[in-house]
A and B are shown apart, each in its own frame.
Chain A
Amino acid sequence: MTALAHVPTGQSTASSPPPAARSGRYRFLPYLLLLPGAAWLFLFFALPLLQLAAASLYDPTGSLATGYAMTWAFSNYPEALQAYWPQFSRSFLYAGIALVLALLMGYPLAYAIAQKAGRWKNLLLVCVVAPMFTSFLVRTLAWKTILSDNGWVVGLLRDIHLLGPDGRLLATPVAVILGLTYNFLPFLVLPLYASLERLDYRLLEAASDLYASPVQTFRKVTLPLSMPGLIAGTLLFFIPATGDYINAELLGTPNEYMIGNVIDSAFLVRLDYPQGAALSFLLMAAILAVVFVYLRKAGTDEVL
Protein backbone atom coordinates (compact mmCIF):
# COMPACT_ATOMS: atom_id res chain seq x y z
CA MET A 1 0.00 0.00 0.00
CA THR A 2 2.73 2.45 -0.86
CA ALA A 3 0.09 4.77 -2.27
CA LEU A 4 -0.87 5.59 1.30
CA ALA A 5 2.66 6.03 2.46
CA HIS A 6 3.35 9.11 0.42
CA VAL A 7 0.21 10.87 1.45
CA PRO A 8 1.26 12.91 4.49
CA THR A 9 3.70 14.93 2.42
CA GLY A 10 1.06 15.49 -0.20
CA GLN A 11 3.27 14.45 -3.03
CA SER A 12 4.06 11.25 -4.73
CA THR A 13 7.65 10.34 -5.07
CA ALA A 14 8.49 7.84 -7.69
CA SER A 15 11.57 7.02 -5.67
CA SER A 16 14.66 6.28 -7.68
CA PRO A 17 15.95 2.77 -7.24
CA PRO A 18 18.29 2.56 -4.27
CA PRO A 19 21.96 2.47 -5.13
CA ALA A 20 23.63 -0.89 -5.39
CA ALA A 21 24.92 -2.40 -2.19
CA ARG A 22 28.33 -1.15 -1.32
CA SER A 23 30.99 -3.37 0.03
CA GLY A 24 33.52 -2.94 2.79
CA ARG A 25 32.84 -0.88 5.86
CA TYR A 26 29.50 0.39 4.51
CA ARG A 27 27.86 -2.98 4.35
CA PHE A 28 26.44 -2.80 7.83
CA LEU A 29 25.68 0.91 7.78
CA PRO A 30 22.04 0.61 6.64
CA TYR A 31 21.31 -1.91 9.38
CA LEU A 32 22.95 0.35 11.92
CA LEU A 33 20.80 3.28 10.76
CA LEU A 34 17.64 1.18 10.82
CA LEU A 35 18.25 -0.59 14.10
CA PRO A 36 16.96 1.93 16.69
CA GLY A 37 13.78 2.87 14.78
CA ALA A 38 12.97 -0.68 13.72
CA ALA A 39 13.55 -1.94 17.24
CA TRP A 40 11.20 0.72 18.62
CA LEU A 41 8.48 -0.19 16.12
CA PHE A 42 8.95 -3.87 16.78
CA LEU A 43 8.85 -3.54 20.57
CA PHE A 44 6.02 -1.03 20.82
CA PHE A 45 3.94 -1.72 17.71
CA ALA A 46 4.35 -5.33 16.55
CA LEU A 47 4.89 -7.00 19.91
CA PRO A 48 1.85 -5.29 21.50
CA LEU A 49 -0.34 -6.63 18.67
CA LEU A 50 0.79 -10.15 19.59
CA GLN A 51 0.06 -9.43 23.23
CA LEU A 52 -3.39 -8.13 22.27
CA ALA A 53 -4.03 -11.33 20.33
CA ALA A 54 -3.01 -13.35 23.38
CA ALA A 55 -5.17 -11.22 25.70
CA SER A 56 -8.19 -11.80 23.47
CA LEU A 57 -7.90 -15.53 24.19
CA TYR A 58 -7.55 -15.27 27.98
CA ASP A 59 -10.03 -16.95 30.29
CA PRO A 60 -12.83 -14.35 30.58
CA THR A 61 -13.63 -15.32 34.16
CA GLY A 62 -10.29 -13.96 35.37
CA SER A 63 -9.78 -10.36 36.43
CA LEU A 64 -7.03 -7.79 36.42
CA ALA A 65 -6.50 -8.22 40.15
CA THR A 66 -6.23 -12.02 40.20
CA GLY A 67 -4.58 -12.32 36.80
CA TYR A 68 -5.78 -13.95 33.62
CA ALA A 69 -5.13 -17.54 32.61
CA MET A 70 -4.41 -18.37 28.98
CA THR A 71 -7.12 -20.84 28.01
CA TRP A 72 -7.30 -20.23 24.24
CA ALA A 73 -10.89 -19.09 24.77
CA PHE A 74 -11.86 -18.52 21.14
CA SER A 75 -15.45 -18.21 22.34
CA ASN A 76 -14.55 -14.66 23.46
CA TYR A 77 -14.95 -13.55 19.86
CA PRO A 78 -18.52 -14.69 19.12
CA GLU A 79 -19.60 -13.65 22.60
CA ALA A 80 -18.20 -10.14 22.25
CA LEU A 81 -19.70 -9.76 18.81
CA GLN A 82 -23.08 -10.95 19.98
CA ALA A 83 -23.09 -8.58 22.94
CA TYR A 84 -22.05 -5.51 20.94
CA TRP A 85 -23.26 -6.15 17.41
CA PRO A 86 -25.32 -2.90 17.30
CA GLN A 87 -22.31 -0.72 18.16
CA PHE A 88 -20.12 -2.70 15.81
CA SER A 89 -22.34 -2.37 12.77
CA ARG A 90 -23.12 1.25 13.68
CA SER A 91 -19.40 2.13 13.46
CA PHE A 92 -19.29 1.02 9.85
CA LEU A 93 -22.66 2.56 9.01
CA TYR A 94 -21.76 5.99 10.43
CA ALA A 95 -18.26 5.96 8.94
CA GLY A 96 -19.74 4.91 5.59
CA ILE A 97 -22.34 7.70 5.52
CA ALA A 98 -19.72 10.21 6.65
CA LEU A 99 -17.43 9.00 3.85
CA VAL A 100 -20.11 9.60 1.20
CA LEU A 101 -20.74 13.12 2.55
CA ALA A 102 -17.00 13.79 2.70
CA LEU A 103 -16.57 12.67 -0.92
CA LEU A 104 -19.37 14.98 -2.05
CA MET A 105 -17.65 17.91 -0.31
CA GLY A 106 -14.02 16.91 -0.65
CA TYR A 107 -13.88 16.13 -4.36
CA PRO A 108 -15.03 19.57 -5.55
CA LEU A 109 -12.75 21.19 -2.98
CA ALA A 110 -9.68 19.21 -4.06
CA TYR A 111 -10.53 19.77 -7.72
CA ALA A 112 -11.01 23.50 -7.31
CA ILE A 113 -7.70 23.92 -5.48
CA ALA A 114 -5.77 21.75 -7.92
CA GLN A 115 -7.20 23.05 -11.19
CA LYS A 116 -8.97 26.37 -10.64
CA ALA A 117 -7.15 28.20 -7.88
CA GLY A 118 -4.18 29.53 -9.86
CA ARG A 119 -1.98 31.67 -7.64
CA TRP A 120 -4.21 31.09 -4.61
CA LYS A 121 -3.42 27.38 -4.62
CA ASN A 122 -1.01 27.36 -1.68
CA LEU A 123 -3.17 29.64 0.43
CA LEU A 124 -6.26 27.47 -0.09
CA LEU A 125 -4.23 24.37 0.71
CA VAL A 126 -3.16 25.94 4.00
CA CYS A 127 -6.85 26.65 4.64
CA VAL A 128 -7.67 22.94 4.30
CA VAL A 129 -5.05 21.97 6.87
CA ALA A 130 -5.50 24.98 9.16
CA PRO A 131 -8.55 23.67 11.07
CA MET A 132 -6.39 20.78 12.25
CA PHE A 133 -4.13 23.26 14.04
CA THR A 134 -6.59 23.44 16.92
CA SER A 135 -7.09 20.53 19.22
CA PHE A 136 -9.33 17.75 17.86
CA LEU A 137 -11.40 17.72 21.04
CA VAL A 138 -11.83 21.50 21.21
CA ARG A 139 -12.98 21.54 17.57
CA THR A 140 -15.45 18.77 18.24
CA LEU A 141 -16.80 20.59 21.28
CA ALA A 142 -17.37 23.65 19.09
CA TRP A 143 -19.96 21.59 17.20
CA LYS A 144 -21.83 21.32 20.48
CA THR A 145 -22.26 25.09 20.35
CA ILE A 146 -23.11 25.17 16.65
CA LEU A 147 -25.72 22.41 16.86
CA SER A 148 -27.06 23.50 20.26
CA ASP A 149 -30.83 23.62 20.75
CA ASN A 150 -30.62 27.41 21.13
CA GLY A 151 -28.28 27.88 18.19
CA TRP A 152 -29.13 29.46 14.85
CA VAL A 153 -28.72 26.22 12.89
CA VAL A 154 -31.46 24.45 14.80
CA GLY A 155 -33.52 27.68 14.79
CA LEU A 156 -33.28 27.96 11.02
CA LEU A 157 -34.14 24.30 10.44
CA ARG A 158 -37.16 24.65 12.74
CA ASP A 159 -38.31 27.78 10.90
CA ILE A 160 -38.27 26.06 7.54
CA HIS A 161 -39.91 23.01 9.13
CA LEU A 162 -37.11 20.61 8.36
CA LEU A 163 -37.09 19.99 12.09
CA GLY A 164 -40.16 19.77 14.30
CA PRO A 165 -40.66 22.45 16.98
CA ASP A 166 -38.91 20.20 19.52
CA GLY A 167 -36.55 18.69 16.99
CA ARG A 168 -32.87 18.76 17.80
CA LEU A 169 -29.57 17.94 16.18
CA LEU A 170 -27.32 17.49 19.18
CA ALA A 171 -27.42 14.00 20.68
CA THR A 172 -28.69 12.51 17.41
CA PRO A 173 -26.97 10.37 14.75
CA VAL A 174 -26.92 13.48 12.53
CA ALA A 175 -24.56 15.29 14.93
CA VAL A 176 -22.23 12.31 15.22
CA ILE A 177 -22.04 11.78 11.45
CA LEU A 178 -21.51 15.51 10.85
CA GLY A 179 -18.69 15.47 13.41
CA LEU A 180 -17.02 12.46 11.76
CA THR A 181 -17.32 14.07 8.32
CA TYR A 182 -15.84 17.30 9.59
CA ASN A 183 -12.96 15.85 11.58
CA PHE A 184 -11.55 13.54 8.91
CA LEU A 185 -12.33 15.56 5.75
CA PRO A 186 -8.76 16.96 5.38
CA PHE A 187 -7.36 13.40 5.29
CA LEU A 188 -9.53 12.78 2.23
CA VAL A 189 -8.83 16.09 0.51
CA LEU A 190 -5.02 16.10 0.69
CA PRO A 191 -4.25 12.88 -1.25
CA LEU A 192 -7.07 13.67 -3.66
CA TYR A 193 -5.52 17.08 -4.26
CA ALA A 194 -2.10 15.49 -4.85
CA SER A 195 -3.64 13.30 -7.56
CA LEU A 196 -5.71 16.03 -9.21
CA GLU A 197 -2.82 18.48 -9.19
CA ARG A 198 -0.87 16.26 -11.54
CA LEU A 199 -3.85 15.99 -13.88
CA ASP A 200 -2.93 17.53 -17.22
CA TYR A 201 -5.51 20.18 -18.06
CA ARG A 202 -4.93 19.58 -21.77
CA LEU A 203 -6.47 16.12 -21.42
CA LEU A 204 -9.71 17.74 -20.29
CA GLU A 205 -9.57 20.15 -23.21
CA ALA A 206 -8.92 17.27 -25.57
CA ALA A 207 -11.98 15.46 -24.23
CA SER A 208 -14.23 18.44 -24.80
CA ASP A 209 -12.70 19.04 -28.24
CA LEU A 210 -13.78 15.51 -29.04
CA TYR A 211 -17.36 16.45 -28.09
CA ALA A 212 -17.43 14.83 -24.64
CA SER A 213 -19.96 16.49 -22.35
CA PRO A 214 -18.66 17.78 -19.00
CA VAL A 215 -20.21 14.76 -17.32
CA GLN A 216 -18.56 12.37 -19.76
CA THR A 217 -15.23 14.14 -19.37
CA PHE A 218 -15.46 13.73 -15.62
CA ARG A 219 -16.43 10.06 -15.79
CA LYS A 220 -13.99 9.01 -18.49
CA VAL A 221 -10.98 11.25 -17.83
CA THR A 222 -10.90 13.08 -14.50
CA LEU A 223 -12.23 10.33 -12.26
CA PRO A 224 -10.01 7.48 -13.56
CA LEU A 225 -6.92 9.68 -13.41
CA SER A 226 -7.63 10.72 -9.83
CA MET A 227 -8.19 7.11 -8.72
CA PRO A 228 -4.93 6.67 -6.73
CA GLY A 229 -5.64 9.78 -4.68
CA LEU A 230 -9.27 8.84 -4.29
CA ILE A 231 -8.39 5.40 -2.95
CA ALA A 232 -5.69 6.68 -0.60
CA GLY A 233 -7.96 9.45 0.67
CA THR A 234 -10.91 7.12 1.17
CA LEU A 235 -8.81 4.77 3.27
CA LEU A 236 -7.23 7.58 5.27
CA PHE A 237 -10.74 8.83 6.03
CA PHE A 238 -12.46 5.53 6.65
CA ILE A 239 -9.92 3.83 8.92
CA PRO A 240 -9.79 6.50 11.66
CA ALA A 241 -13.49 7.32 11.30
CA THR A 242 -14.52 3.71 12.01
CA GLY A 243 -12.34 3.52 15.09
CA ASP A 244 -13.31 6.95 16.42
CA TYR A 245 -15.34 7.31 19.58
CA ILE A 246 -14.75 10.96 20.45
CA ASN A 247 -17.56 12.23 18.20
CA ALA A 248 -20.02 9.64 19.47
CA GLU A 249 -19.17 10.48 23.07
CA LEU A 250 -19.22 14.28 22.78
CA LEU A 251 -21.97 14.82 20.19
CA GLY A 252 -24.13 11.74 20.72
CA THR A 253 -25.71 9.69 23.50
CA PRO A 254 -25.23 6.01 24.39
CA ASN A 255 -27.75 5.33 21.60
CA GLU A 256 -25.14 6.54 19.11
CA TYR A 257 -22.17 4.78 20.70
CA MET A 258 -19.75 3.18 18.28
CA ILE A 259 -17.46 0.20 18.88
CA GLY A 260 -14.71 2.51 20.14
CA ASN A 261 -16.84 3.58 23.09
CA VAL A 262 -17.37 -0.07 24.01
CA ILE A 263 -13.65 -0.91 23.73
CA ASP A 264 -12.73 2.16 25.77
CA SER A 265 -15.05 1.15 28.59
CA ALA A 266 -13.98 -2.51 28.38
CA PHE A 267 -10.35 -1.51 29.01
CA LEU A 268 -10.71 1.49 31.26
CA VAL A 269 -14.02 1.14 33.12
CA ARG A 270 -15.21 -2.47 33.17
CA LEU A 271 -11.62 -3.81 33.10
CA ASP A 272 -12.69 -6.76 30.96
CA TYR A 273 -9.45 -7.17 29.02
CA PRO A 274 -10.30 -10.37 27.09
CA GLN A 275 -13.48 -8.83 25.74
CA GLY A 276 -11.84 -5.48 24.91
CA ALA A 277 -8.96 -7.25 23.16
CA ALA A 278 -11.33 -9.45 21.18
CA LEU A 279 -13.33 -6.42 20.04
CA SER A 280 -10.15 -4.53 19.08
CA PHE A 281 -9.04 -7.44 16.95
CA LEU A 282 -12.46 -7.80 15.36
CA LEU A 283 -12.41 -4.09 14.49
CA MET A 284 -9.02 -4.40 12.85
CA ALA A 285 -10.02 -7.55 10.98
CA ALA A 286 -13.25 -5.97 9.76
CA ILE A 287 -11.46 -2.82 8.60
CA LEU A 288 -8.84 -4.89 6.79
CA ALA A 289 -11.60 -6.93 5.13
CA VAL A 290 -13.44 -3.81 3.97
CA VAL A 291 -10.19 -2.26 2.71
CA PHE A 292 -9.30 -5.46 0.86
CA VAL A 293 -12.68 -5.83 -0.84
CA TYR A 294 -12.63 -2.15 -1.71
CA LEU A 295 -9.18 -2.30 -3.28
CA ARG A 296 -10.27 -5.35 -5.28
CA LYS A 297 -13.39 -3.57 -6.52
CA ALA A 298 -11.50 -0.40 -7.33
CA GLY A 299 -9.30 -2.62 -9.46
CA THR A 300 -6.04 -0.88 -8.79
CA ASP A 301 -3.67 -3.54 -7.63
CA GLU A 302 -0.69 -1.33 -8.38
CA VAL A 303 -1.41 0.89 -5.37
CA LEU A 304 -0.73 -2.05 -3.09
Chain B
Amino acid sequence: MRFSRWLADRWVMGVALLVLGYLFLPIAVVAALSFNRPSSRLSYDFNEFTLDNWRNPCATSDMCDAVVRSVQIGFISTVVATVLGTLMAFALARHAFRGRSGINVLIFLPMATPELVMGTSLLALFVAGGVQLGFWTVVIAHVMFCVSFVVVTVKARLSGMDRRLEEAAMDLYASEWQTFRRVTLPLVLPGIVAAALLAFSLSFDDFIITNFNSGTTVTFPMYVWGAAQRGIPPQVNVIGTAMFAVALLLVLATTLRGRRARRAAVAAPVAAGQAGGRS
Protein backbone atom coordinates (compact mmCIF):
# COMPACT_ATOMS: atom_id res chain seq x y z
CA MET B 1 0.00 0.00 0.00
CA ARG B 2 2.68 2.42 1.01
CA PHE B 3 4.64 1.54 -2.10
CA SER B 4 1.73 2.15 -4.45
CA ARG B 5 1.18 5.52 -2.77
CA TRP B 6 4.84 6.35 -3.30
CA LEU B 7 4.59 5.24 -6.91
CA ALA B 8 1.43 7.24 -7.58
CA ASP B 9 3.20 10.32 -6.29
CA ARG B 10 6.36 9.80 -8.30
CA TRP B 11 5.46 8.21 -11.64
CA VAL B 12 4.83 11.52 -13.39
CA MET B 13 8.31 12.67 -12.41
CA GLY B 14 9.72 9.35 -13.64
CA VAL B 15 8.09 9.74 -17.03
CA ALA B 16 9.25 13.35 -17.17
CA LEU B 17 12.86 12.36 -16.55
CA LEU B 18 12.64 9.69 -19.26
CA VAL B 19 11.33 12.27 -21.72
CA LEU B 20 14.14 14.64 -20.77
CA GLY B 21 16.52 11.77 -21.47
CA TYR B 22 14.96 11.44 -24.93
CA LEU B 23 15.47 15.17 -25.48
CA PHE B 24 19.12 15.02 -24.41
CA LEU B 25 20.13 11.79 -26.15
CA PRO B 26 20.99 13.48 -29.47
CA ILE B 27 22.98 16.18 -27.65
CA ALA B 28 25.05 13.50 -25.95
CA VAL B 29 25.59 11.85 -29.32
CA VAL B 30 26.68 15.13 -30.91
CA ALA B 31 29.14 15.70 -28.08
CA ALA B 32 30.50 12.15 -28.38
CA LEU B 33 30.82 12.40 -32.17
CA SER B 34 32.83 15.60 -31.79
CA PHE B 35 35.59 13.35 -30.35
CA ASN B 36 35.23 10.75 -33.10
CA ARG B 37 37.56 9.86 -35.94
CA PRO B 38 35.05 8.52 -38.47
CA SER B 39 35.95 5.39 -40.41
CA SER B 40 34.75 6.90 -43.67
CA ARG B 41 33.26 10.13 -44.92
CA LEU B 42 29.72 8.80 -45.03
CA SER B 43 29.83 6.91 -41.73
CA TYR B 44 27.70 8.15 -38.85
CA ASP B 45 28.93 5.54 -36.34
CA PHE B 46 31.40 6.09 -33.52
CA ASN B 47 34.80 4.70 -34.50
CA GLU B 48 37.80 5.95 -32.53
CA PHE B 49 38.45 8.60 -29.87
CA THR B 50 40.45 11.63 -30.93
CA LEU B 51 40.98 15.24 -29.89
CA ASP B 52 41.90 16.33 -33.43
CA ASN B 53 38.50 17.80 -34.24
CA TRP B 54 38.62 20.12 -31.24
CA ARG B 55 42.27 21.02 -31.80
CA ASN B 56 41.61 21.86 -35.40
CA PRO B 57 37.97 22.90 -35.84
CA CYS B 58 38.62 24.73 -39.09
CA ALA B 59 40.20 21.79 -40.92
CA THR B 60 37.46 22.16 -43.49
CA SER B 61 37.69 25.88 -44.13
CA ASP B 62 34.31 26.07 -45.94
CA MET B 63 32.64 25.20 -42.70
CA CYS B 64 34.28 27.97 -40.71
CA ASP B 65 33.48 30.47 -43.46
CA ALA B 66 29.86 29.38 -43.17
CA VAL B 67 29.90 29.80 -39.38
CA VAL B 68 31.37 33.30 -39.71
CA ARG B 69 28.73 34.21 -42.29
CA SER B 70 25.96 32.90 -40.03
CA VAL B 71 27.29 35.03 -37.16
CA GLN B 72 27.42 38.12 -39.39
CA ILE B 73 23.88 37.56 -40.69
CA GLY B 74 22.66 36.78 -37.17
CA PHE B 75 24.24 39.92 -35.76
CA ILE B 76 22.86 42.32 -38.37
CA SER B 77 19.40 40.71 -38.35
CA THR B 78 19.29 40.80 -34.55
CA VAL B 79 20.17 44.48 -34.32
CA VAL B 80 17.62 45.51 -36.96
CA ALA B 81 14.85 43.21 -35.69
CA THR B 82 15.40 44.25 -32.06
CA VAL B 83 15.19 47.96 -32.87
CA LEU B 84 12.10 47.58 -35.09
CA GLY B 85 10.39 45.18 -32.69
CA THR B 86 11.09 47.22 -29.55
CA LEU B 87 9.65 50.37 -31.15
CA MET B 88 6.52 48.42 -32.09
CA ALA B 89 6.24 46.94 -28.59
CA PHE B 90 6.35 50.43 -27.05
CA ALA B 91 3.64 51.64 -29.40
CA LEU B 92 1.41 48.65 -28.60
CA ALA B 93 1.94 48.67 -24.84
CA ARG B 94 1.92 52.40 -24.25
CA HIS B 95 -0.32 54.06 -26.80
CA ALA B 96 -3.87 53.95 -27.98
CA PHE B 97 -4.29 54.29 -31.72
CA ARG B 98 -6.55 53.31 -34.56
CA GLY B 99 -5.75 50.12 -36.44
CA ARG B 100 -4.37 48.26 -33.41
CA SER B 101 -6.06 44.98 -34.33
CA GLY B 102 -4.69 45.15 -37.86
CA ILE B 103 -1.17 45.63 -36.51
CA ASN B 104 -1.67 42.75 -34.08
CA VAL B 105 -2.65 40.45 -36.96
CA LEU B 106 0.38 41.57 -38.97
CA ILE B 107 2.64 40.71 -36.01
CA PHE B 108 0.93 37.45 -35.17
CA LEU B 109 0.66 35.93 -38.65
CA PRO B 110 4.41 35.41 -39.31
CA MET B 111 4.60 33.28 -36.15
CA ALA B 112 1.72 31.06 -37.31
CA THR B 113 2.70 30.72 -40.97
CA PRO B 114 4.77 27.67 -41.94
CA GLU B 115 8.37 28.66 -42.70
CA LEU B 116 8.03 26.92 -46.02
CA VAL B 117 5.31 29.35 -47.11
CA MET B 118 7.27 32.41 -45.94
CA GLY B 119 10.42 31.18 -47.66
CA THR B 120 8.78 30.39 -51.00
CA SER B 121 6.70 33.57 -51.08
CA LEU B 122 9.71 35.77 -50.40
CA LEU B 123 11.59 33.92 -53.14
CA ALA B 124 8.67 34.53 -55.51
CA LEU B 125 8.81 38.25 -54.68
CA PHE B 126 12.58 38.54 -55.12
CA VAL B 127 12.49 36.70 -58.43
CA ALA B 128 9.56 38.79 -59.69
CA GLY B 129 11.40 41.97 -58.66
CA GLY B 130 14.66 40.84 -60.24
CA VAL B 131 16.52 41.01 -56.90
CA GLN B 132 19.85 39.20 -56.81
CA LEU B 133 19.72 36.53 -54.05
CA GLY B 134 22.54 36.54 -51.52
CA PHE B 135 23.72 37.81 -48.15
CA TRP B 136 21.29 40.75 -47.97
CA THR B 137 18.19 38.85 -49.07
CA VAL B 138 18.91 36.42 -46.22
CA VAL B 139 19.19 39.36 -43.78
CA ILE B 140 15.87 40.77 -45.02
CA ALA B 141 14.19 37.41 -44.51
CA HIS B 142 15.67 36.88 -41.04
CA VAL B 143 14.65 40.35 -39.83
CA MET B 144 11.13 39.62 -41.12
CA PHE B 145 10.61 36.45 -39.08
CA CYS B 146 12.45 37.72 -35.98
CA VAL B 147 10.51 40.98 -35.55
CA SER B 148 7.32 39.33 -34.28
CA PHE B 149 9.16 37.38 -31.60
CA VAL B 150 10.92 40.56 -30.43
CA VAL B 151 7.61 42.44 -30.21
CA VAL B 152 5.97 39.69 -28.15
CA THR B 153 8.93 39.35 -25.76
CA VAL B 154 9.44 43.08 -25.14
CA LYS B 155 5.70 43.71 -24.87
CA ALA B 156 5.39 41.07 -22.17
CA ARG B 157 8.08 42.83 -20.15
CA LEU B 158 6.51 46.26 -20.70
CA SER B 159 3.02 45.25 -19.65
CA GLY B 160 4.37 43.57 -16.50
CA MET B 161 6.06 46.81 -15.46
CA ASP B 162 4.92 49.03 -12.64
CA ARG B 163 3.87 52.33 -14.24
CA ARG B 164 3.99 54.05 -10.84
CA LEU B 165 7.80 54.03 -10.93
CA GLU B 166 7.71 56.30 -13.97
CA GLU B 167 5.05 58.49 -12.42
CA ALA B 168 7.21 58.81 -9.31
CA ALA B 169 10.17 59.91 -11.43
CA MET B 170 8.03 62.54 -13.15
CA ASP B 171 6.72 63.73 -9.79
CA LEU B 172 10.33 64.20 -8.72
CA TYR B 173 10.79 66.58 -11.65
CA ALA B 174 12.57 64.22 -14.04
CA SER B 175 11.98 65.32 -17.61
CA GLU B 176 10.36 62.82 -19.98
CA TRP B 177 13.69 61.98 -21.54
CA GLN B 178 15.33 61.53 -18.12
CA THR B 179 12.46 59.30 -17.01
CA PHE B 180 12.82 57.19 -20.10
CA ARG B 181 16.60 57.04 -19.89
CA ARG B 182 16.93 56.45 -16.11
CA VAL B 183 13.76 54.51 -15.23
CA THR B 184 11.94 53.00 -18.20
CA LEU B 185 14.91 51.77 -20.22
CA PRO B 186 16.75 50.00 -17.35
CA LEU B 187 13.51 48.26 -16.40
CA VAL B 188 12.75 47.08 -19.95
CA LEU B 189 16.34 46.18 -20.78
CA PRO B 190 16.17 42.54 -19.62
CA GLY B 191 13.22 42.04 -21.97
CA ILE B 192 15.12 43.61 -24.85
CA VAL B 193 18.20 41.48 -24.17
CA ALA B 194 16.08 38.33 -24.01
CA ALA B 195 14.43 39.30 -27.29
CA ALA B 196 17.80 39.92 -28.94
CA LEU B 197 19.14 36.54 -27.80
CA LEU B 198 16.01 34.84 -29.10
CA ALA B 199 16.32 36.66 -32.42
CA PHE B 200 19.96 35.70 -32.79
CA SER B 201 19.31 32.02 -32.08
CA LEU B 202 16.37 31.96 -34.51
CA SER B 203 18.48 33.58 -37.21
CA PHE B 204 21.59 31.48 -36.61
CA ASP B 205 19.65 28.21 -36.77
CA ASP B 206 17.26 28.98 -39.60
CA PHE B 207 17.41 26.61 -42.51
CA ILE B 208 14.13 26.51 -44.45
CA ILE B 209 13.65 30.23 -45.16
CA THR B 210 17.38 30.71 -45.77
CA ASN B 211 17.47 27.80 -48.18
CA PHE B 212 15.00 29.54 -50.50
CA ASN B 213 16.54 33.01 -50.35
CA SER B 214 20.30 32.60 -50.11
CA GLY B 215 21.29 32.08 -53.73
CA THR B 216 24.92 30.93 -53.48
CA THR B 217 25.49 32.31 -49.96
CA VAL B 218 26.24 29.46 -47.55
CA THR B 219 25.26 29.75 -43.87
CA PHE B 220 26.14 27.12 -41.29
CA PRO B 221 22.81 25.22 -41.57
CA MET B 222 23.11 25.40 -45.37
CA TYR B 223 26.61 23.97 -45.12
CA VAL B 224 25.42 21.06 -42.96
CA TRP B 225 22.56 20.39 -45.39
CA GLY B 226 24.93 20.23 -48.33
CA ALA B 227 27.49 18.19 -46.42
CA ALA B 228 24.84 15.64 -45.37
CA GLN B 229 24.86 14.46 -48.97
CA ARG B 230 28.63 14.43 -49.42
CA GLY B 231 29.59 13.26 -45.95
CA ILE B 232 29.69 15.27 -42.73
CA PRO B 233 33.09 16.34 -41.41
CA PRO B 234 33.29 15.59 -37.65
CA GLN B 235 34.05 19.26 -36.98
CA VAL B 236 30.34 19.96 -37.53
CA ASN B 237 29.76 18.22 -34.22
CA VAL B 238 32.41 20.39 -32.58
CA ILE B 239 30.47 23.48 -33.65
CA GLY B 240 27.22 21.87 -32.48
CA THR B 241 28.68 21.05 -29.06
CA ALA B 242 30.31 24.46 -28.68
CA MET B 243 27.04 26.22 -29.55
CA PHE B 244 25.25 24.16 -26.94
CA ALA B 245 27.85 24.91 -24.27
CA VAL B 246 27.94 28.66 -24.93
CA ALA B 247 24.15 28.98 -24.90
CA LEU B 248 23.84 26.89 -21.74
CA LEU B 249 26.48 29.00 -19.95
CA LEU B 250 24.66 32.19 -20.97
CA VAL B 251 21.35 30.91 -19.63
CA LEU B 252 22.85 29.60 -16.40
CA ALA B 253 24.69 32.88 -15.85
CA THR B 254 21.46 34.86 -16.30
CA THR B 255 19.57 32.54 -13.94
CA LEU B 256 22.28 32.75 -11.30
CA ARG B 257 22.46 36.52 -11.59
CA GLY B 258 18.70 36.73 -11.21
CA ARG B 259 18.83 34.54 -8.13
CA ARG B 260 21.63 36.57 -6.53
CA ALA B 261 19.72 39.76 -7.27
CA ARG B 262 16.63 38.35 -5.63
CA ARG B 263 18.62 37.28 -2.58
CA ALA B 264 20.12 40.76 -2.34
CA ALA B 265 16.64 42.19 -2.57
CA VAL B 266 15.58 40.14 0.45
CA ALA B 267 18.67 41.08 2.42
CA ALA B 268 18.56 44.79 1.74
CA PRO B 269 15.08 46.17 1.12
CA VAL B 270 16.60 49.46 0.02
CA ALA B 271 18.25 47.78 -2.95
CA ALA B 272 15.06 45.99 -3.88
CA GLY B 273 14.03 48.38 -6.60
CA GLN B 274 17.32 48.26 -8.49
CA ALA B 275 18.03 44.57 -8.09
CA GLY B 276 14.51 43.44 -8.85
CA GLY B 277 14.68 45.41 -12.05
CA ARG B 278 17.84 43.69 -13.13
CA SER B 279 16.82 40.14 -12.25
Contact surface of A with B, Cβ cutoff 8 Å:
1-2, 4-6, 8-9, 11, 13, 15-16, 18-22, 26, 29-31, 33-34, 36-38, 40-42, 44-49, 51-52, 54-55, 64, 105-106, 108-109, 111-113, 116-117, 122, 124, 126-146, 148, 150-151, 182, 185-186, 214, 235, 239-240, 242-246, 249-250, 260, 263-264, 267-268, 273, 276-277, 280-281, 283-284, 287
Q: Is the CB of B19 closer than 8 A to any CB of chain A?
A: yes
In the complex, the 3 A-B pairs of residues with the closest C-beta atoms, listed nearest first? A243-B114, A112-B16, A133-B247
B120 touches A133 (CB 8 A): no
Chain B window 94-118, contacts with chain A (Cβ cutoff 8 Å), 1 for yes, 0 for no: 1111001001101111111111111
CB distance from B71 to the nearest CB of A (A): 13
A38 to B92, CA, bound (A): 12
Q: Is the CB of B165 closer than 8 A to any CB of chain A?
A: no
A36 touches B87 (CB 8 A): yes
CB distance from A293 to the nearest CB of B (A): 16
Q: How many residues of B contact A (CB 8 A)?
A: 97
CB distance from A214 to the nearest CB of B (A): 7
Q: Is the CB of B270 closer than 8 A to any CB of chain A?
A: no
Q: Write 8 A-B pairs (CB below 8 A) sorted by A numbering.
A: A34-B88, A34-B103, A126-B248, A130-B244, A136-B205, A138-B240, A142-B29, A280-B121
A16 touches B88 (CB 8 A): no
A residues near B8, Cβ cutoff 8 Å: 214
New A-B contacts (17) at CB < 8 Å, excluding given A4-B108, A8-B198, A18-B93: A19-B96, A20-B96, A34-B92, A41-B107, A52-B121, A108-B12, A111-B12, A130-B251, A134-B30, A135-B224, A136-B205, A138-B236, A141-B44, A264-B211, A267-B120, A280-B120, A281-B117
Which one, B115, B201, B212, B221, contacts A133 given CB within 8 A? Answer: B201
Given A138-B237, A141-B232, residue A6 in contact with residue B88 (CB < 8 A): no
CB distance from B256 to the nearest CB of A (A): 10
CB distance from A44 to the nearest CB of B (A): 4
A150 touches B45 (CB 8 A): yes
A64 touches B85 (CB 8 A): no
A260 touches B221 (CB 8 A): no
Q: Which of A11, A41, A52, A105 has the most CB of B within 10 A?
A: A41
B residues near A137, Cβ cutoff 8 Å: 207, 221, 224-225, 228
Q: Which of B26, B107, B109, B251 has the most CB of A within 10 A?
A: B26
B33 touches A145 (CB 8 A): yes
CB distance from A142 to the nearest CB of B (A): 4
Given A135-B205, A235-B112, residue A108 in contact with residue B159 (CB < 8 A): no
Given A37-B87, A260-B116, A264-B211, residue A8 in contact with residue B241 (CB < 8 A): no
Which one, A4, A105, A126, contacts B251 given CB within 8 A? Answer: A126
Which stretch from B53-61, B122-130, B271-279 is at the chain A interface?
B122-130
